[in-house]
Amino acid sequence: MAEPILEVTNLKTGFYSKQGFYNAIEDVSFSVYPGKTLGIVGESGCGKSVTCMSMLKLLPEKSAVVDSASSVKMRGQELTTKSRKEMCKIRGNEIAMIFQDSMTSLNPVMTIGRQMEEPFMVHQGMSRRQAREKAIEMLKKVGIPSPEIKMRQFPHQLSGGQRQRVMIAMALSCSPEVLIADEPTTALDVTIQAQIVRLMKQLQETSGTAIILITHDMGIVAEMADEIMVMYAGNVVEKASKEELFRNPLHPYTKGLLASIPSLSKEVEKLHTIEGVVPGLQDMPEGCRFCDRCKSAMPVCRTKNPDLCDRDGRKVRCFLYEEGKGADA
Amino acid sequence: MKRSSYFRDVAGRFKTHKLAMAGMCILLLELLLLVFLPVVMDLEPYEIYSGFGASPSREHILGTDNTGRDLFARLIYGGRTSLYVGVVSTLISFAIGVPLGMLAGYYRGPVEAVIMRLADVFMSFPSMVFILVLVSVLGPSLSTATIVIGIMGWPGFARQLYGSVLSVREKEYVEAAKAVGTKNLPIMIRYILPNSFAPILIAFTFGVASAILQESGLSFLGMGVQVPKASWGNMLYAAQSVSVIATRPWMWVPPGICLLVTVLSINLFGDGLRDALDPKMKL
Amino acid sequence: MMNKGEDLIRIEGLSKEFDVGKGFLSKGRKLKAVDQVSLEIRRGETLGLVGESGCGKSTLGRCILRLIEPTGGKVFYKDQNLLELDRESMRRMRRRLQIIFQDPYASLNPRMTVMEIIKAPLDVFHMGTERERIQKVMEISQVVGIREEYMHRYPHQFSGGQRQRIVIARALALDPEFIVCDEPVSALDVSIRSQVLNLIRDIQKAYHLSYLFISHDLSVVKHISDRVAVMYLGSIVEMADKTELFSNPRHPYTQALMSAIPVPDVDVERKEIYLEGDVPSPVDPPAGCRFHTRCRYATEACRRARPELTDIGNGHYTACLRQEEIARGEG
């Protein structure tokens, strides 16, 4: 495989709250390769967004602490030690982001044109005229009809799907090497979602951008991702290629998650459920974080959080798969 | 899950607000003094002593006024009057404004149009002028001042509540209450009022402060509380002449300071309450 | 009690128009949120209603319960037209007709405890003594799975899934016959979603309920429904038995909708039909067939005539002028 563009090792972030200090994510490691998509899936509060925010230093410095042992390397360049100012340059130039809510991410009192032109002028030093041409070209690329007219409009005059296209156009305007898409289609309707997914796949093919796709929707990762990382309560619980993960999930959480989604092809009387709820930061179980909801929990699960171990080239955090303990579940 | 209630959360947030706590302590202290000092010190605000216009002495801490009444006793009784007018007139505004605001926001349509336009009319009068006219018709007295200030204050409450009712009435839990057949009045009282009450409570504290100021202003113009009854406003009125301001500061400085400190404390308390009730809301 | 299969709710030509942009001088325009919808919901069945945001599915659900006053049409509950009832009779009727909302964070009064919330409907109708009401609340809470010691807590102390259980308990308190479920699981996490879906199914059996299940998620609708109706821009474009609809979708919109759902399975091949463009604004919907602006089969006729919802056999209804040709593969 090619050299990874982005390598994250041992990322650990904690937050100060009134009740004390809690780790939101721990021991998160992954690599992103050019032209490939890494899907990070998990339910709300699993730490998938915190992972990306800490990578990009977007968390409030006052309350959030990224552990000093964490490392985020972009083409061998360490990002964790960079200053805010340097990071600001890297964001937008080399790493771009798309958020779920395009209405709040776009400035409501600026025309689409102004917002599109700005990155070209700021990051690439173009004149307004050049930037304008470039912006129209970008809008065409993401399939916005009559871009010259849209350039003069304000965000609220566009539909949700069009706004998301504008966001993508802005994110890609400086041809970033890594694109982080945080729930890019969650606020959209299915038919529009399909358009956006297709657009992102096409753009990736032509530009070779690496994508980190954060979502809770198993369907979307199945569609877009090459590799999938499943997170639960701040831990990576499983990491595998898309095919392996969907055909043969290993971790009990991944299994439960996949089984609990109603399927269009199969009929079941009762859906599979994972009992209980995700533990809060304050009341993490002592051992494995999933042990209270796990049907195959063993005594050891309650005392010690398992390490992420290798199994046939995949990673899984579960005692069922640790060397010398238990067979296949 | 931790046990907590809404009230406890609010109290917790309020306690961390230093200025608001200071304001509350000052107000409590003031209340204690106003209630107990007359008894403890045997103060007589209406008694006319022999030496009128006297300077502070051991007998009369702040001296006496032009008729010979003890100024310290008048300061304390004046405080009682000021707080009384402040609280009672705000209660009157509250009692008129809250139901009207609720009705306007809940029913919308013609009800809303009538009530809110009425509020606009009230608010577009220069209120002090209007109060002066009313007082001169009814004759100046403590109760007139209280009632007039109270009546003039309702549009503020009505608008404030109207605004929050408009947003709360669209909440799904209100729709849910309708869906189970709850009648309009219980919906207003059990569902809408408790959820739109925070701004009103805050408005109440600020209302008290402004009513106190209005009363002192009115009394300062000689149209409010009338002598021999004491109020901070009419004590200032009595000290109006240039010679008194220049030569006998004990006649006007203490009531002035009391007024300032009281209004400031109430406002600080209100600020803290606002932050505590809704950390997101900034007026 | 009526037999299963009989119509419990029957809607005829239901419409709702909202006034939009009505200013001081301008007359404003009409937004047709629901346009001449007719359907029936049988006793004990779940009718799924799918469509994208803004298609009018939630408005339709609320119009049936008169939480929004419809501007035209009829809604029959058994043989009673609900729209003819006066306010008080309608209020009494609400015991039988309930609703479960989408957002469990918004649909519970934050100033009331769980006990008060579930008991409120019983209080409204003065059902039995205070003690009997509490008894009833305890029973329902057990059914929906809220622990007894939580009864005096406030909604903000619960997670989304638990809140939705409280919402369901409140809807059950009055022993309704019909419940509108308005996107009841859309706001929930995947692992919680299946718990709530199972609960909704379980109580249906236990209490003989009929549902109108509104959702934008086809896989959820397929799991829970007996029949499914597909809505686009205020009208129903296709309605059929669940298995029939999913195996043999006839309306081009239904087909596109089905192909657009991402399937959480790498081994499923699906037809890719992409819809171009956005949903037109309901303020000024396209003439003729509402879908023709995005339909790849659209002809001149589609731009002019508005297709009726017609029975094509087996209780499968579709509103497309060219459905026969499309079915034969001549598109």
Quote the CA–CA distance of C133 and C150 in Å, as a whole number: 17
Q: Cβ(A69)–Cβ(A14) under 8 Å? A: no
Q: Which residues from chain B sit within 8 angstroms of residue C113, using beta carbons?
A: none
- List of residues 6+ apart from A84 with CB closer than 8 A: A57
Nearest CA in chain A to C162: A277
Of residues C92, C101, C111, nearest to B176 (C-beta) = C101
Of residues C194, C218, C277, nearest to A273 (C-beta) = C194
Query: E strand or H helix at B5, and its extent?
Result: none
Interface of chain C toward chain B, CB-CB under 8 angstroms = 62, 65, 67, 91-92, 94-95, 97-99, 101-103, 106-112, 120-121, 124-125, 153-154, 157-158, 167, 170, 173-174
- Please judge whether B194 and C125 are an interchain contact, meaning their C-beta atoms are less than 8 angstroms apart: no
Q: For A219-253, how does the pLDDT look when each residue is reduced to its tens digit (9 = 90+)? A: 899 989 999 999 999 999 999 999 999 999 999 99
Other C-beta atoms within 10 Å of B180: how many?
23
Query: E strand or H helix at A168, and its extent?
Result: helix A160-172
Classify residue C119: in a domain, yes or no.
no
Quote the CA–CA distance of B186 and C121 in Å, as a whole number: 12
ipTM for the predicted complex comes to 0.84
Classify residue C127: in a domain, yes or no.
no
Q: Cβ(A186)–Cβ(A100) under 8 Å? A: yes
Q: Which residues from chain A sit within 8 angstroms of residue C262, using beta carbons?
A: 193-194, 197, 217, 219-220, 222-223
- C322 is in which domain, residue-wise? 243-331
Q: What percent of chain A is predicted at pLDDT more than 90?
A: 26
Q: For A96-150, how does the pLDDT look when each residue is reduced to its tens digit (9 = 90+)? A: 888 877 777 888 889 999 988 888 888 788 899 999 998 998 888 888 888 888 8
Give the pLDDT score at C135.
94
A15: helix, strand or coil: strand
Label residue A286 by pLDDT band (50, 70, 90).
confident
Quote the CA–CA distance of A69 and A72 in Å, as a whole number: 10
Q: Which residues from chain B sit within 8 angstroms of residue C98, using beta carbons?
A: 179-180
- Please judge whether C98 and B1 are an interchain contact, meaning their C-beta atoms are less than 8 angstroms apart: no
Q: Which residues from chain B sit within 8 angstroms of residue C158, using beta carbons?
A: 1
Q: What percent of chain A is predicted at pLDDT more than 70?
A: 97
Those of residues 40-99 in A touching chain C at CB distance below 8 A are 43-44
The pLDDT of A298-321, averaged and rounded, is: 88
> How far C24 CA sits from the closest chain B CA (Å)?
14
Classify residue C328: in a domain, yes or no.
yes
Classify residue C271: in a domain, yes or no.
yes
CB-side neighbour CA atoms (13 Å) of C138? 8
Q: Cβ(B248)–Cβ(B60) under 8 Å? A: no
> How far C131 CA sits from the closest chain B CA (Å)?
20
Label residue C24 by pLDDT band (50, 70, 90).
low
Q: Which residues from chain C sit within 8 angstroms of residue B195, using beta carbons?
A: 109-111
The pLDDT of B91-112, averaged and rounded, is: 94
Quote the CA–CA distance of B243 and B66 in Å, as a whole number: 13
Phi, psi dihedrals of residue C28, rounded to the nearest 5°: 85, 170
Asked if the model's pLDDT at residue C331 lies above 70, the reply is no
> How far C152 CA sits from the closest chain A CA (Å)?
20
Q: How far apart are the first and last CA of chain B?
A: 32
Q: Is C72 exposed, middle or buried (0-12, 13-18, 19+ CB in 10 A)?
A: middle
Q: In what order do the strands lie in the sheet with C29-42?
A: C29-42, C7-20, C72-77, C80-81
- Please judge whether B4 and C157 are an interchain contact, meaning their C-beta atoms are less than 8 angstroms apart: yes
Asked if the model's pLDDT at residue B222 lies above 50, the reply is yes
Quote the CA–CA distance of C194 and C213 in Å, as a whole number: 15
Tell whether A191 is within 8 A of chain C (Cβ).
yes
Quote the CA–CA distance of B165 and B167 in Å, as a whole number: 5
- Please judge whether C109 and B3 are an interchain contact, meaning their C-beta atoms are less than 8 angstroms apart: no
- Please judge whether C195 and A257 are an interchain contact, meaning their C-beta atoms are less than 8 angstroms apart: no
Across-strand partners of C11? C39, C75
Estimate to the nearest angstrom the gap between the alpha carbon of B277 and the chain centroid.
19
> How far A248 CA sits from the closest chain C CA (Å)?
11
Classify residue C322: in a domain, yes or no.
yes
CB-side neighbour CA atoms (13 Å) of C215? 25
Long-range contacts of B6-9 (CB under 8 A, 24+ apart): B6/C110, B6/C111, B6/C154
Q: Cβ(A73)–Cβ(A7) under 8 Å? A: yes
> Chains contacting A with at least 3 CB pairs below 8 Å?
C
Quote the CA–CA distance of A75 and C226 in Å, as a whole number: 54
Angle at C282 between CA C276 and CA C285, to 5 degrees: 70
Quote the CA–CA distance of C145 and A92 in Å, as a whole number: 48
Quote the CA–CA distance of C73 and C33 in Å, as a whole number: 14
Label residue B105 by pLDDT band (50, 70, 90).
very high
Of residues C97, C106, C157, nearest to B171 (C-beta) = C106
What's chain C's average pLDDT?
Answer: 89
β-pairing, A227-232 vs C210-215, is unpaired
- Please judge whether B181 and C95 are an interchain contact, meaning their C-beta atoms are less than 8 angstroms apart: yes
3-state secondary structure chain C: CCCCCCEEEEEEEEEEEEEECCCCCCCCEEEEEEEEEEEEEECCCEEEEECCCCCCHHHHHHHHCCCCCCCEEEEEECCEEHHHCCHHHHHHHCCCEEEECCCCCCCCCCCCCHHHHHHHHHHHCCCCCHHHHHHHHHHHHHHHCCCHHHCCCCHHHCCHHHHHHHHHHHHHCCCCCEEEEECCCCCCCHHHHHHHHHHHHHHHHHHCCEEEEEECCHHHHHHHCCEEEEEECCEEEEEEEHHHHHHCCCCHHHHHHHHHCCCCCCCCCCCCCCCCCCCCCCCCCCCCCCCCCCCCCCCHHHHHCCCCCEECCCCCEECCCCHHHHHHCCC
The pLDDT of B253-274, averaged and rounded, is: 91
Of residues C189, C195, C267, nearest to A43 (C-beta) = C189
Mutation site, A49, A159, A188, A190, interface C, largest C CB count within 10 A: A190
b/e map of C255-283 (b: 16 or more CB within 10 Å)?
A: bbbbbbbbbbbeeeeeeebebeebbeebe
Give the pLDDT score at C25.
64
- Please judge whether C275 and A195 are an interchain contact, meaning their C-beta atoms are less than 8 angstroms apart: yes
Quote the CA–CA distance of B247 and A264 in Å, as a whole number: 93
Q: Which residues from chain C sit within 8 angstroms of residue B108, using beta carbons?
A: none
Nearest CA in chain C to A272: C194
β-pairing, C210-215 vs C178-182, is parallel
> Chains contacting C with at least 3 CB pairs below 8 Å?
A, B
Q: For B74-93, how does the pLDDT look when each residue is reduced to its tens digit (9 = 90+)? A: 899 999 999 999 999 999 99
Of residues A197, A246, A261, nearest to C219 (C-beta) = A261
3-state helix, strand, coil in chain A (%, to 5): 35, 20, 40
The pLDDT of B58-65, averaged and rounded, is: 80
Q: Which residues from chain B sit within 8 angstroms of residue C174, using beta carbons?
A: 180
Asked if the model's pLDDT at residue B219 lies above 90, the reply is no
Across-strand partners of C239? C229, C317
Q: Which residues from chain A sit within 8 angstroms of residue C274, using beta carbons?
A: 194-195, 198
The pLDDT of A282-300, averaged and rounded, is: 87
Give the pLDDT score at C2.
44
A33 closest CA partner among A56, A57, A1: A1
Quote the CA–CA distance of B232 and B228 in Å, as a whole number: 12
- In chain B, alpha helices (H): 6-15, 18-41, 71-107, 109-124, 127-138, 142-152, 154-168, 172-179, 184-186, 193-195, 197-220, 232-238, 242-247, 253-277
Quote the CA–CA distance of C292 and A154 in Å, as a whole number: 28
Tell whether A277 is within 8 A of chain C (Cβ).
yes
Q: Cβ(C50)–Cβ(C57) under 8 Å? A: yes
b/e map of A138-158 (b: 16 or more CB within 10 Å)?
A: bbebbbbeebeebbeeebeeb
- Read off the tokens for A67: 């552990």
Q: Which residues from chain C sit within 8 angstroms of residue B181, using beta carbons?
A: 91-92, 94-95, 121, 124-125
Of residues C110, C154, C157, nearest to B195 (C-beta) = C110
Q: Cβ(C223)–Cβ(C184) under 8 Å? A: no
- Read off the tokens for C199: 């609960």
Quote the CA–CA distance of C119 and B153 in Å, as a whole number: 39
What's chain A's average pLDDT?
Answer: 87
Classify residue C326: in a domain, yes or no.
yes
Those of residues 176-205 in B touching chain C at CB distance below 8 A are 176-183, 186, 190-191, 194-195
Across-strand partners of A38? A212, A227
Q: Cβ(C212)–Cβ(C223) under 8 Å? A: no
- Please judge whether C124 and B172 are an interchain contact, meaning their C-beta atoms are less than 8 angstroms apart: no
Query: E strand or H helix at A30, and its extent?
Result: strand A20-32
Of residues C195, C222, C265, nearest to A273 (C-beta) = C195
Residue C45: C-alpha distances to residues C3, C41, C180, C204 (Å): 11, 7, 12, 9
DSSP string, B32-43: HHHHHHHHHHT-
What's chain B's average pLDDT?
Answer: 87
Quote the CA–CA distance of A14 and A284 in Å, as a whole number: 14
Other C-beta atoms within 10 Å of B75: how many?
23
Classify residue C233: in a domain, yes or no.
no
Q: Cβ(B269)–Cβ(B205) under 8 Å? A: yes
A277 closest CA partner among C188, C187, C185: C188
Angle at B7 between CA B5 and CA B12, to 5 degrees: 95
Q: How many domains does chain C have?
A: 1
> How far B25 CA sits from the closest chain C CA (Å)?
29
Q: Which residues from chain C sit within 8 angstroms of residue A159, using beta carbons?
A: 278-279
Asked if the model's pLDDT at residue A309 lies above 60, the reply is yes
Classify residue C26: in a domain, yes or no.
no
Quote the CA–CA distance of C174 and C133 in Å, as a whole number: 11
Nearest CA in chain C to A220: C262
Interface of chain C toward chain A, CB-CB under 8 angstroms = 52-53, 159, 161-162, 189-195, 197-198, 201, 216, 218-220, 222-224, 246, 256-268, 274-279
Q: For B118-171, how does the pLDDT look when each residue is reduced to its tens digit (9 = 90+)? A: 999 988 878 778 888 888 888 888 888 899 889 889 999 999 999 999 999 988
β-pairing, A37-41 vs A227-232, is parallel
- Read off the tokens for A245: 């993960």
Mutation site, B180, B182, B184, B193, interface C, largest C CB count within 10 A: B180
Query: Cis omega (within 30 of 0) on the bond before B228?
Result: yes
β-pairing, A314-316 vs A309-311, is antiparallel
Of residues A159, A222, A260, nearest to C194 (C-beta) = A260
Mutation site, C50, C163, C263, C295, interface A, largest A CB count within 10 A: C263
pTM as predicted: 0.86
